[in-house]
Amino acid sequence: MEQTLATAEAVLRQNHFKVTKQRQAMLEFLIDNQHHYTNVTTVDDFMHREFPGMSHNTIYRNIKEFKECGLVEQQLDNDQATVKYTCDFTHQHHHHFICTNCGKVIELKMCPTEFFAEQLPGCEIDGHRFELYGLCADCK
């Protein structure tokens, strides 16, 4: 975890953000939960327990800044924003298998874009999201 935290702190500095106690605590929480998407309100609750005077706006702003830096991935789950620490800094473009029972996230190494591009002659694909859902090996 120390190396992962050091990498995250370096990313913050490269993006001209200070590494504060609050940002460190949030990063540690996200790193500890990096194999699952976590509801943003859960992150907010954790930060309020650790730093009672911290405002909701500051917490949500930090999550947004982490996303812009590539430190977290965000998705909507039943209209609720969820985040997780990024899987892979070297390959920002990647996809996931998400267990519908335990929420475990497994990174997929292949992108299906070429498969779909072949089926859309004359079209230009300019974006996509690809996630698979089911039961992980442990839950199956």
pLDDT in tens, 6-43: 989 999 999 999 999 999 999 999 999 988 899 999 99
CATH number for 76: 1.10.10.10
Q: What is the DSSP string of 24-39?
A: HHHHHHHHHTTTB-EE
Q: Are 6 and 68 within one domain?
A: yes
Q: Are 47 and 78 within one domain?
A: yes
Does 90 reside within a domain?
no
Q: What SS3 class is residue 68?
A: helix
* 102 in a labelled binding site: yes
* 95 in a labelled binding site: no
The overall longest dimension of the chain from CA atoms, in Å, is 56
Q: Are 81 and 105 within one domain?
A: no
**Percent of the chain at pLDDT exceeding 70:** 94
CA distances from 19 to 7, 37, 70, 127 (A): 12, 23, 16, 32
Q: What is the pLDDT of residue 3?
A: 76
Q: Are 81 and 128 within one domain?
A: no
**Percent of the chain at pLDDT exceeding 90:** 46
Query: Does the pLDDT at position 91 exceed 60?
Result: no
* 73 in a labelled binding site: no
Q: Are 21 and 79 within one domain?
A: yes
Averaged pLDDT for residues 88-105: 75
Q: Are 45 and 114 within one domain?
A: no
Q: Are 77 and 121 within one domain?
A: no
Q: Are 103 and 124 within one domain?
A: yes
Residue 81 to residue 132: CA distance in whole angstroms: 18
Residue 73's domain comprises 2-85
Query: Does the pLDDT at position 131 exceed 90?
Result: no
Averaged pLDDT for residues 66-81: 87
pLDDT, greater one: 80 or 89: 80
* 111 in a labelled binding site: no
Q: Are 39 and 57 within one domain?
A: yes
Q: How many domains does the chain have?
A: 2
Q: Are 53 and 7 within one domain?
A: yes
**Range with lowest mean pLDDT among 13-22, 40-49, 104-113:** 104-113
Does 140 reside within a domain?
no
Most confident segment among 20-29, 100-109, 118-127: 20-29
* 107 in a labelled binding site: no
* 139 in a labelled binding site: yes
* 118 in a labelled binding site: no
